[in-house]
Structure 1
Amino acid sequence: ASGDSVHIGAEFDGEYYYSVSATSDLIYCYDQSGSLIKAFSIPGVSGLRDLAWDGQFMYGGAAQDTIYHMDFTNEVLIGSIPTQVPVHHIAYDKNADSFWIGDQDSDIVLHDRAGNILSIIQSTSHGLTNMRGSAYDDWTDGGPYLWVFDRKSGQGDPQLLYQINLNTRLPTGFAYDVSSDFPNLDGIAGGLWTAQRMAYGQVFIGGVLSGTPDMFFVYELTQGGPYSFKLVEPTSGTVPPDSSDRLTVRLFGVWPLPPFIEAVRIESNDPSQPSILVPIYRYHIGIDNEEPEPEYFEVSQNYPNPFNATTIIQLELPEAMEIEITIYNLLGQKVRTLVDKKLSAGHHQVKWDGRDEKGLKVSSGIYLYRVESDHFQKIHKMILIN
């Protein structure tokens, strides 16, 4: 998509993909459909290898004893962090607010923002000799983990994702050959990232496989995220014939917009029906069976996002008020007004079907929706994929 011949670094900030050129100082930005949005460079930064995202800013290394602290939105260098090893790969540890870094075959060290070493994974323990990307994972059961993308001897060798348990500082024994999934068998390992925000409840790991052509890959890592429910009791037992039992299910975490259904699977030794799925529906139970009025003005992220065909915008109003909901493209041009009237206090859902004021379908891309009243205004981004 970029026209560049060699990409070695990669990252995802929850909205855009980024890749780093090995032949220039350019950084490429793509939307989630893979279309190139822009190419830019950061004055004072050259030779980037891998990238890391802390939820606000981007960080990277250029195989030197420095972590660059960068603002990709404004395309400026904010500062730098001195390190005690060259930074060929980098991953942000959100629990420690620090960075796992290393050279191609060195110890992997946890550096804080002041340049101090907090922890070390010895090279004799991990045994990797050509590391090019790393990513932090605290979603997978038994973690947190550090994923490392290793080139081995280079082209023709398996390009492996390795999993290291950060509790033990030892490899788990799990490794996955990315090159086996692509026709470009001569591709070599590049940057790596993990993210949760691409789809509700799912966690992904992705990166770049450098070759001809370069391949950007994304795998589903785990369902992760806030679980929708937990089976409290009982989790096993015996139910006599012609009798019943009660299951207690606790609902918690972040839910998508209703209607939403989960299910409990009950397995038994019944030869005619060994497995039963019992649906669990989201609904509200109160003393008077009525939902309480919202206490604050709130606009939720549209769901689903990204979306195809239709999406729902949900807002909560503590009192009746005039509300205008407008869709804009990234050029600031109005696409459609969804609501322009007084709404009652309470919970509201507004649907957009991906059409403009004339009823014509708009193209795939990023759109903004603005929810405005006399006293409040909220703007969110959403992604339409046709």
Structure 2
Amino acid sequence: MVGTVPRGQWLRRSGRRSTGIRDGTRMVIQTVKNRPWLYVLLILPVIIVLGIYLPLANRLPDITATHWSSTYPDGFTRTGVLVPVSIGLSIAGAIIGLSSLAQRRKPALLLALLFIGSLLSWTTAGVFIGSVVPTALAETPQTAVIGIWMLPMAACTLVSLVPLWICGVYQSYSKQVQEERQARINRGQGLAAPAPRGTQGADGTEFSETMKAPWWLWVLGIVVAGAGVFMLLEISMRPGAKEWTAAMIGLATCLVITPLTFGLCLIRVTITEQRIRVASAIFGFPLRTIRPGEIQSVTSTEIDPMAWGGWGWRFFPGGSAVVLRRHEGLAFELKNSSRFAVTVPNSQRGAEQLNALMQKNGSC
């Protein structure tokens, strides 16, 4: 007689448990946050494309300006091809993005599909806005002017990254990958898992350390500043040139990027009883300020730029970082479920001081 075995008994007999352990590997079920907003962000590009096309359908000529050389178009596409392709791509992007939300046990696949779907649908909406609207407003496609419509095109590209920020998966997945990587290193070296550093009391002195950027960041700042000087000379010597507007935009960009680049060449991390402040040691502008009450945990560890979004002042889904090189630093887990890291010398002493400060505040 063949009978059925209850699922719980089968798990026990087969050596598997329903606690998230499978074949010696921990299964982490990812929790997707802000699902209603994700649905809205993934479906909205389709609504935008249809909402723009339907009222302008009768005003569109047979061809639509789709590629621009500075202000005026230099490339065209048949409207009968552009419209259905745009609608189809926006719908395809929405479907890909929505399908990603079902990948709870495969965070890497979830993030990849969510990024591809959101980028596809929002980029399509941006291109559609920047093509159809200027063409419909102009007398002919050849006289269309992109002008201010470049702004919604750029905005659509930026909005496409929002789902990755608000889903909350990247943060937990990145932390899991780092923990597994460190565990493999420890096993390969025959070491036990290291206890978090920074659990001892601080010596009571104020922590203030300065971190210097590698030489190439200084060179980058000089190059950007040189480009700004060149554009300034171009504007002053050729005020009536057609490229004057582009030069003005380039100059404004250099004026913003130059102090930011040089400001990151030297940073200072200061820890007091009231706050942890990361600021530019050259210009003094703050990069991040954290109150002790906002910290869940802090450790001294090696900061790998590739694990924290790259070099410089980085923002990524679920956190941010100020990373100047591969170096020791402080890694924060905050109570709002975000993360932060900063490269700084003598990070172990900083972590000890922060943990002592957190214990003191917790006992008060």
* TM-score tier after normalising by the smaller chain length: under 0.3
Q: Which has the higher helix share?
A: 2
- TM-score, normalization: structure 1? 0.21
- TM-score, normalization: structure 2? 0.22
Q: Which has the higher strand share?
A: 1
Structure with more relative contact order (C-alpha pairs < 8 Å, separation 6 or more): 2
Greater Rg, structure 1 or structure 2? 2
